[in-house]
Amino acid sequence: MNDSERKAAGIGLAAVLTAGAAAAALAMARRKREAAHGSPDSAPGRTARRNFGDYDVEGRSVTIARPRQELFEFWRDFQNLPTFMENIESVEHTGPKRTLWRIKAPGDLTVDVETEIAREIEGELIAWRSVPGSDIDTKGRVEFRDAPGERGTRVTAIVAYDPPGGAIGKAIAKMFMREPAIQMRHDLKRFKMLMETGEIATSARRRDATRAAKQEEQTRHHEKEEA
Amino acid sequence: MRALTWHGKHDVRVDTVDDPEIINPRDAIIKVTSTAICGSDLHLYDGVIPGMKSGDILGHEFMGEVVETGPKSSLTKGQRVVVPFTISCGACFFCEQHQYSACSNSNPVEKQDLAAPVYGHAMAGLFGYSHMTGGYSGGQAEYVRVPFSDIGPVVIPDGMDDEDVLFLSDILPTGWMAALNAEIQPDDTVAVWGCGPVGLFAVQSALHMGAARVIAIDHWPHRLELARGLGADVINFRETDVREALMEMSGGLGVDAVIDAVGMEAHGFAIDNMLDTVKQKVGIGADRASALRQALLAVRRGGRVSIPGVYGGLADKFPLGALMEKGLSLRTGQTHVQAYTAELLELIQQGKLDTTFLISHRLPLEDAPRGYQCFHDNQDEWTKVILKPGMKMAA
């Protein structure tokens, strides 16, 4: 892995780390817009051309030609997340509503984040947040709504991230600020591919050249280091 | 395996590279028996398509034998198949509507970022046609990994030669879709710009669909002869004022439908690149851009405009006024190959479409670089080149 690839992999951290105070930040953004412009337009607050105060909030929607319940159930099993979220190396259950996410960080490091389900509406919404004492403070949610007619399901993921303190934290945050949207878009598109086609497209010619293979290699590398 | 690889402008070589492997469950591996050089490959050869990397394997018109299948492939070893150049999942919103070249799921996620800023959305993955369309290894090789092999490949019945069916991969459905997009009516006079393979198949398709008269426009005498052989009238634009001729040949009405099978080599993907290219190639660029301009002026009021020709960037002096004021309708797009292959295979079997008339050369794969050079330099004689991986080099 060269430097630019490492950086690219590290960017992955952002998508999940950016989870944090999503609803609050969005509401805040909406209030700000209303104050500044009178009545708001119909667009989601996260698309506003403004900053969200102290928060980095990213949200993306994708339409998937599969039933809502099926998509909900796949996502709800957080151990499925590493199959389409590039930056999550592994997910382990630590309690009935708790999971430990191992997330890739820059410099070939990983960060552990223990999350708990904060809110759940069967077939419609999953919200999670990091528990106190995690390396990173993060919150996020994913919503599933029926798309018009026969078009399947609209999936919207929103993650927000309150940058950690300290010079290093700020530097990392700064690096993340630009990229979470890209990572989230990629993750959602991979989710769509997996659910619609049963696989994630790759133009590699050899198995060892796929991104998934490179990811597994990195995971093995980490496991070896720990052993 | 041996494969034709791209290394830069006018630099293609036959190299030894790793064989492809099954990666995803729906994959198949095809052993190529015949593959062709497409006119659009010359855009890659000329280095005007961005997103190419040294070592990329070219080729998007190919067929062969199934030699390996993933667990979810519908193919079986030993079948002969023609592979569409568009890679399509068959399950997304677009594939469900048979808009296969707009497939959401075949262009790898990270590659979609290359095209999305330019077009607003990424298109489907294509074989051997730059990383903007996925960076898939192409078919000018001994073996190809074919994703979504349960959706694309057309199984060929015994007894049909490769050359009868190879062009189902691209140029025949492309010419066919061009004629469909022109919405041809029985009494129509249809004008086709460009007598390359796609133009020639558009001519044949338009006549098959019942056009009263098809007028083919080019400047290469041999290519015009091929069009004439199909039953078209022809105009050599080096000799004749095209618009005046078309007005007279359509009784002063203007032609009912126009098909631009030229495309524009003077294309770029950024504004500055586009302007530079046009500035640098005033002669060629103006000629080629003028085909579409001329078509929009020649078509009658309320007429139909079909554009199978490849465009990638921005058009200068596009006659938007003619489009609006005359109430024209315009249809274009990369070919939805999978939507047409079954019907076209049947028409070939019934002898209603001839696919072999335009083949001018058959070369061993090892001789592919010469094929590119001659196809590029001598378009009059070299109308279509087929490459055969198994064929021996001439002494």
Residue A177 has pLDDT above 70, yes or no: no
pLDDT at position A25 = 55
Task: For residue A48, give the amino acid letter.
Answer: A
Homologous superfamily of B2-170+336-388: Medium-chain alcohol dehydrogenases, catalytic domain (3.90.180.10)
Strand partners, A95: A98
DSSP assignment letter at B227: H
CA–CA distance, A212 with A200 (Å, rounded to integer): 9
pLDDT at position B351 = 95
Residue whose C-alpha is closest to residue A9's, from A227, A224, A222, A201: A222
User: Does the beta-carbon distance from B20 to A205 stay under 8 Å?
Assistant: yes
Across the interface, of B21, B104, B108, the residue whose CB is closest to A203 is B108
A172-178, long-range: CB < 8 A, 24+ apart: A172/A105, A172/A106, A173/A56, A175/A7, A175/A10, A175/A11, A175/A106, A176/A11, A176/A13, A176/A14, A176/A17, A176/A18, A176/A56, A177/A56
CA angle B297, B298, B304 (to 5 degrees): 90
User: Are the C-beta atoms of residues A66 and A28 closer than 8 Å to each other?
Assistant: no
Across the interface, of B89, B96, B109, the residue whose CB is closest to A190 is B109
- In chain B, the DSSP E strands lie at 2-8, 11-16, 28-37, 56-57, 61-69, 80-83, 86-87, 125-126, 143-146, 154-155, 189-193, 213-218, 233-236, 255-260, 299-307, 329-332, 361-364, 385-388
Strand partners, B29: B68, B145
What's the first-to-final CA gap in chain B, in angstroms? Answer: 22
CATH number assigned to the domain with residue range A3-226, chosen from the 4 options 3.30.70.2170, 3.30.530.20, 3.40.50.280, 2.30.40.10: 3.30.530.20
Residue A175 has pLDDT above 90, yes or no: no
In B, which residues are within 8 Å of A182 by CB distance? 113
Taking residue A44's Cβ as centre, other Cβ atoms within 10 Å add up to 14
| Percentage of residues in chain A having pLDDT higher than 70 | 62
Which residues in chain B show pLDDT less than 50? 266-273, 276, 279-280, 282-287
Rounded to an integer, what is the distance from CA A208 to the centroid of its chain? 26
Chain A contact probe: residue of B27, B105, B123 with most A CBs at under 10 A: B105
Cβ burial, residue A226 (10 Å; 0-12/13-18/19+): exposed
pTM of the model: 0.86
User: Are the C-beta atoms of residues B147 and B70 closer than 8 Å to each other?
Assistant: no
pLDDT at position B271 = 46
User: Are the C-beta atoms of residues B243 and B14 closer than 8 Å to each other?
Assistant: no
CA–CA distance, A175 with B105 (Å, rounded to integer): 29
Across the interface, of A65, A203, A206, the residue whose CB is closest to B92 is A65
Q: Which residue has the higher pLDDT, A139 or A195?
A: A195
pLDDT at position A28 = 58
pLDDT at position A52 = 55
User: Are the C-beta atoms of residues B63 and B162 closer than 8 Å to each other?
Assistant: yes
In A, which residues are within 8 Å of B105 by CB distance? 192-193, 196-197, 201
User: Are the C-beta atoms of residues A164 and A176 closer than 8 Å to each other?
Assistant: no
Residue A2 has pLDDT above 50, yes or no: no
Band of pLDDT at residue A14, cut at 50, 70 and 90: very low
In A, which residues are within 8 Å of B93 by CB distance? 63, 65, 151-152
Domain positions in chain A: 3-226
List C-alpha distances in Å: B86 to B124, B149, B262. Answer: 7, 12, 20
Phi-psi region of B17 (alpha: psi -120 to 50; beta: other; left: phi over 0): beta
pLDDT at position B43 = 87
User: Are the C-beta atoms of residues B225 and B274 closer than 8 Å to each other?
Assistant: no
User: Are the C-beta atoms of residues B315 and B292 closer than 8 Å to each other?
Assistant: yes
CA angle B242, B225, B184 (to 5 degrees): 60
Strand partners, B299: B255
- In B314-353, the DSSP E strands lie at 329-332
Residue whose C-alpha is closest to residue A130's, from A172, A101, A164: A101
Q: Which residues contact A205 (CB under 8 A, 6 or more apart)?
A: B17, B18, B20, B21, B137, B145
Residue A185 has pLDDT above 60, yes or no: yes
Coil, strand, or helix at residue B75? coil
Asked if B125 reaches chain A (Cβ–Cβ under 8 Å), the answer is yes
CA–CA distance, B98 with B342 (Å, rounded to integer): 13
Q: For residue B68, what are its two tokens?
A: 């390996």
Average pLDDT over residues A118-144: 90
Taking residue A48's Cβ as centre, other Cβ atoms within 10 Å add up to 19
pLDDT at position A20 = 37
Task: For residue A139, give the amino acid letter.
Answer: K
Shortest Cα–Cα distance, A24 to chain B (Å): 30
What's the first-to-final CA gap in chain A, in angstroms? Answer: 21
CA angle A215, B145, A203 (to 5 degrees): 40
User: Does the beta-carbon distance from A205 to B135 stay under 8 Å?
Assistant: no
Give the count of Cβ contacts less than 8 A between chain A and B: 78
Taking residue B154's Cβ as centre, other Cβ atoms within 10 Å add up to 19
Quick: pLDDT tens for A90-114.
999 999 889 998 887 766 777 788 9
pLDDT at position A104 = 77
Across the interface, of B89, B125, B147, the residue whose CB is closest to A196 is B89
Shortest Cα–Cα distance, A196 to chain B (Å): 6
Asked if A175 reaches chain B (Cβ–Cβ under 8 Å), the answer is no
Asked if A182 reaches chain B (Cβ–Cβ under 8 Å), the answer is yes
| DSSP H or E segment with residue A197 | helix A180-197
Homologous superfamily of B176-330: NAD(P)-binding Rossmann-like Domain (3.40.50.720)
Q: Which residues contact B119 (CB under 8 A, 6 or more apart)?
A: none
pLDDT at position B7 = 97
